[in-house]
Structure 1
């Protein structure tokens, strides 16, 4: 049965493994290069020495014992590490071979040549030898130089590099772990805090701790806190939305139920109340149907992606104005120049304007005038709907695009669900347009729909 060991994939473990591999590779590579360079330099120095010795022998004609002894006396050659063999092949030479001390013993066993390195040999019980030859006036010279001292130097270099490697491998993990903890410690703390918050069964406004360093983790924590705040705000808005929807639905349902009970109890004895109750039931059911329809519309615009196409906005607004003039009690004063095109979703833009014009009509006197204007300024196209109604208080302006929001002074007095402007704002966003509100001086409100994507 095979046992598989899973590697630790934490940041500090990955960093430790990566740095250990990197540093070990660098040190081993550097050590090999150093050893080769030092070895090559020592070998070249020995070759230069052997060349000088051979040249010295070639300048000396060793043609007899006297010459050999004279050269030995004047030579500074270290006979404990160097071996010289002179072969005199002249016809008149009485002695053909001369050997420095221990040379004969050396040559009793033929040294073995080292592959790929010129002039390097190995002799058991002696070690590595550098071999050099020369010739002058019928006399042949052979020189063997022991490289024990050079190899001792090389051995020291290898030992030192090995010690450095071992010390590095022993101390590096501790150092890397300390650095990794400094880098990943805040991230680990961030993970633990995130896990703690995620395990809570109830939603809270808890925030993640923001470390001062490293910068990336600090930015990540800040971004997470911003995300948590947005999620919390969104959830709160959804709770308010559900609560408002339930309240808006509960009111017409309660009215319908009360009138049904009224008919059941007193309808037989007082048939005159039936028509009034049915009228109330019809009115409240229509309000509830309208609310449900707007809720469905709102849920759709939250999810859809609109296909934006270039179309004639002037023609579309002109047609829409004619249709609404027949429905709305107020007069619509339209200023729509021809030939203005935008890139947008025509049906949704018309829906926005229907919402704005209906709102203007709802909150304005029936004998007043609603102004609809279209203008092109530089690279902007602006549609404005202006009324002369009561206007919107400053404290309410920042809330009017929220779902179900209705100002206190109109709630219960003017029919509505508080969803129209929320739908209009979302549709404007999907069309890459801005929907804003401002006061109409001296009285009333102006809604502006601004397009930048006009080509």
Structure 2
């Protein structure tokens, strides 16, 4: 069963049950109040009869006295202790009451009796009768008018219930449609997305801020994230396959040469082995950097501690000098301590230093200073530089300013993209300034711990 139908049925049944409960409460409360009112009125009449009989006892016949007080359609009688009526007076159309058996009550009794489906108010009050014994003065008064009014009230309540349930049925349908409309729209959008392959969104209502609005907003955010990840995946796979195709082709070509002529030509053998080894190293670097970049969709695990920036740079520079036999000069303008992840900062520094090594043969200069509450690290090379047309694109994945030069320097076009990801994790700002033929300066701005 559809959710809209469930809401429709459950809402209708619930409201109908509540309406029935309210109507039953109104009816029985009204019945109780009206019957109690009639009984109280009959009791007051019985006390009036008791007072009148007591004042005029002995001056007239008892039946004549009681006849003056008997209500229309009712009965007044005096019942002796043996249960036999001593005096019975019937008013109007109360002959049916005379056929009822009399019963003596010692104390006062106030109740409603049903005789032939007609309610009667019954009052019994002790009275000292003419012979000196204590008898029971009993008044029975018809409540047919009240019963008729209750019947009319019941008919009105039933009619009101029926007239209320009809619009309730249709309003429940409207309510179910209103509640399930965002869900239906969500399902339709998901089906359209699945069939068309396009990431569609649901229009958000401007007035509502309820859970359905939040669900729709969350769905749209999920669509945005899925679309962004899908685009990144397509671009990443396309670029990666393009980059891997070249080393694989080289390896395949040299492998074929080795298979055909490798045993006969030693120079060809050495050249092929060197080329295959070189391309294999490039593929390993490419794979490692691709795996690192894949972490951008995960939460990087940070090990934040307070470190001396000079110590980190000196340690990184020493390792770099031993690995590549390249001189690195460090100028410390300000001694700075900051809260950072040492390993990730070293990795970020290594990327820029490695770029400086690839594109220049001279000394690499590093400068540390403090500016506007931030630690500034500047890494400068004196190489070929980058034109302004390419500066905005060098942080894109697989982007290489000069493919031939990048091949020569073993560039993959992934280092600066990884640097951007690391900078975001470390809450750092990075930028490049360069002049063609004079060199490039990479700047890293890190927040200083208090």
In which range does the TM-score fall when normalised by the shorter chain? 0.7 to 0.9
**Structure 1 CA distance, aligned partners of 2:233 and 2:300?**
22
Q: Distance in 2 between matches of 1:272 and 1:388?
A: 37
CA distance in 2 between counterparts of 1:445 and 1:322 reads 20
Of the candidates 185, 202, 207, which is equivalent to residue 200 of structure 2? 207
1:59 matched to 2:56:
no
Q: CA deviation at 1:295?
A: 3.3
More displaced stretch, 257-266 vs 124-133: 257-266
Deviation at 1:43, TM superposition (A): 1.9
Q: Quick check: 1:400 aligned with 2:394? A: yes
In the alignment, does 2:90 pair up with 1:100? yes
Q: Give distance in 2, aligned partners of 1:111 and 1:440.
A: 122
Mapped partners of 1:198, 1:53: distance in 2: 84
Q: What's the offset of the Cα at 1:143?
A: 0.9
Cα distance, 1:214–1:191 mapped onto 2, change above 3 Å? farther
Please list the CA deviations of residues 356-409 of structure 1 after superposition, one character each: whole Å capped at 9, or x if unmatched: 22123333x43354224264965x655454556565556645543332222357
2:386 & 2:21 partners in 1: Cα distance?
A: 78
Q: 1:121: Cα distance to partner?
A: 3.9
Residues of 2 paired with 1:250 and 1:88: CA distance?
A: 122
Residue 294 of structure 1 deviates from its aligned partner by: 3.0
For residues 230-379 of structure 1, the aligned pairs below 5 Å read: 230-259=225-254, 279-299=274-294, 305-314=300-309, 315-326=311-322, 327=324, 329=326, 331-335=328-332, 340-344=337-341, 346-363=342-359, 365-367=360-362, 369-373=364-368, 375=370
Shift of 1:330: 5.0
Residue aligning to 1:122 = 113
Give the number of equivalent residue pairs.
427
Q: TM-score, normalised by structure 1?
A: 0.76
**Aligned counterpart, 1:144:** 140
More divergent stretch after superposition (334-343 vs 183-192): 334-343
Within 2, Cα distance between the matches of 1:336 and 1:11? 69
Q: Match of 1:43?
A: 35
Contact 1:112 1:121 in 2 (8 A): no
Give the superposition deviation at 1:62.
Answer: 4.1
Match of 1:169 in 2: 165
Paired residue secondary structure (2:428):
strand
Equivalent residues in 2 for 1:1-12, closer than 5 Å: 8=1, 10-12=2-4
Q: TM-score under structure 2 normalisation?
A: 0.76
2: CA distance, partners of 1:99 / 1:324:
127
Runs of 5+ unmatched residues, structure 2:
131-135
Is the partner of 2:179 in helix, strand or coil? helix
Question: How far is 1:79 from its partner?
Answer: 2.0
> 1:444 aligns to what SS in structure 2?
strand
User: How far apart are the structure 2 equivalents of 1:112 and 1:26?
Assistant: 44
For the 8 Å contact 2:362–2:383, the answer to whether it is kept is: no
CA distance in 2, matches of 1:132, 1:371: 113
Q: Deviations over 1:295-320 (max 9, x none)?
A: 34445676675252425243333322
Q: CA deviation at 1:130?
A: 1.5
Deviation at residue 339 of structure 1 after TM alignment: 6.8
Moved more, 16-25 or 171-180: 16-25
- The 1:263/1:19 distance shift into structure 2, 3 A limit, reads closer
1:28 and 2:20 matched:
yes
Report the 3-state secondary structure (helix = DSSP H, G, I; strand = E; otherwise coil) of the residue aligned with 1:207: coil
Q: Is the 1:330–1:366 Cα contact (8 Å) retained in structure 2?
A: no
Alignment of 1:397-436 (within 5 A): 397-408=391-402, 411-412=406-407, 414-429=409-424, 431-436=425-430
